[in-house]
Amino acid sequence: MSEHPPASGPRPGSGSRRGRGTAPDAVVVTGIGVMLPRTSGVRDFWRNVSLGRSQIGPLTRFDAPGQGLAVHAAAQIDSFDADRLLPDLDARHAAKYSREILITMAAVVQARQDAALRDGDLDPSRLGVVMSSSRGPLAWWRPVLRGEDPDVLAERGAPMFAGLPGFPATLSAIHIGARGLVTTVSNACVGGHQAIGIALEELLSDRADAVLAGGHEFPIVPEVLHSYRAMGRGVISSEKRDPTHAVRPYNDDREGFALGEGAVVLCLERESTARRRGARVYARLLAHRYLNEAGHPTTMDLTGRLTAGLIRRTLADSGLRPEDVDYFCAHGTATRYNDLAESRALRALYPDRTPGRLPPISSNKPIYGHTFGLAGVINAAATSLMLHHQRLAPTINLTSPDPECDHDHVAEGPRDTEVRTAVSLSFAFGSQTSVLALETAA
């Protein structure tokens, strides 16, 4: 078992219960860029997440029955106007960039604009771009692996660099003139958190003044669906029902997740830098830790004890205790093992509490589906906005909870309440767990 050291600043004194102002110069979220199904920008994202408006619809990207797949729902980006969203991109370049690259670039540009970070605000050598993607550009590689002529691909505007997993980050950095660290993490569903963790380290070590940290994932291809269907029932939702109800975390009739796609990017800065230039701050990042359980390759610890211990240590990095947490943003995949692992982790974290007294926890997977290497970034963005707006987003489609998961999932709808400290959870194939702690910056 190995654990990454905390990505946090110096700890406060033992009397700092809430950890406000945890580090002498904490890291904050100043901008959020979002390109997701029927969602272009942070306002659309917050509206859909906070009001529980699912963006999962019928799977139309390809003929699933013709591919032998009983899968009917996905969260797809059906239209994308690169000219409108990237007006400064040379048309000759745009013609050579893949859809994945252009969508990710748009999210990067949005995050920078949302943070009001302008040219000249900082040294370009101290601006970085760190991304996460679990599988890279599958849509580019699919025809290559199926034997299509590379010359034909090139004629269609699909040059070789479009097949490199790190190129959405690289081309985004070129576009905005970022000359700091530019890299891409690929570590299944904890990669999004880890991209944020790397950004934290860059900022707290004073190697950067701002980092655009995010993720991009475009897994809606037949091969990915076949691989998850091969794992058996309860992994990928396959019922012919209203697609907006396809994903039902913690419900006793849950059937698994639907695939989602897109890109989300956070602009992270040290708080002193952000305050000095008068930037709006969504939330403060307290600490990040991740754990390799060294257990099963596809199943997380089901006792809940390992995850509970990781949460305790992450909170302790900022002088906090489990009792200080007001909300958990769940991984929430609507698969049996994930749902049980999270519920058992909460019970292990609060052994003296009844289920009805556990902190609220909710999942956004019913809104945007499962986005793998992007999922942790979506959670961090959603949590930052919940802290900013003092409103908890709900777990929708929860009508009959699994008895072991029968606690507070904010199932009644959006909840206005005081939220000061929150924890985002992420689990991944490869026996990996990640925890990100945040707090209100008010």
Residue with tokens 């059906």: 78
Nearest to 133 by CA among 263, 4, 221, 3: 263
E-only strand ranges, 133-282: 182-185, 210-217, 259-260, 262-270
370 is catalytic: yes
Burial class (CB in 10 A: 0-12, 13-18, 19+), 299: middle
388 is catalytic: no
Nearest to 39 by CA among 414, 363, 381: 381
329 is catalytic: no
Give the integer Cα–Cα distance in Å for 222 and 433.
Answer: 28
Nearest to 34 by CA among 114, 130, 90: 114
CA contacts within 13 A on the Cβ side of 121: 22
Candidates 72, 175, 288, 331; catalytic one: 331
* Contact assessment for residue 379 and residue 425, using Cβ atoms and an 8 Å cutoff: yes
Q: Report residue 372 as tokens.
A: 């793998």
E-only strand ranges, 271-329: 283-292, 327-329
Residue 147 CA, chain-centre distance (Å), reads: 33
370 forms beta bridges with: 259
Give the integer Cα–Cα distance in Å for 407 and 140.
Answer: 43
Candidates 370, 388, 407, 409; catalytic one: 370
DSSP state letters, 250-278: TBTT---B-EE-EEEEEEEEEHHHHHHTT
SS3 124: helix
Give the integer Cα–Cα distance in Å for 436 and 418.
Answer: 19
Q: Which residues are catalytic?
A: 189, 331, 370
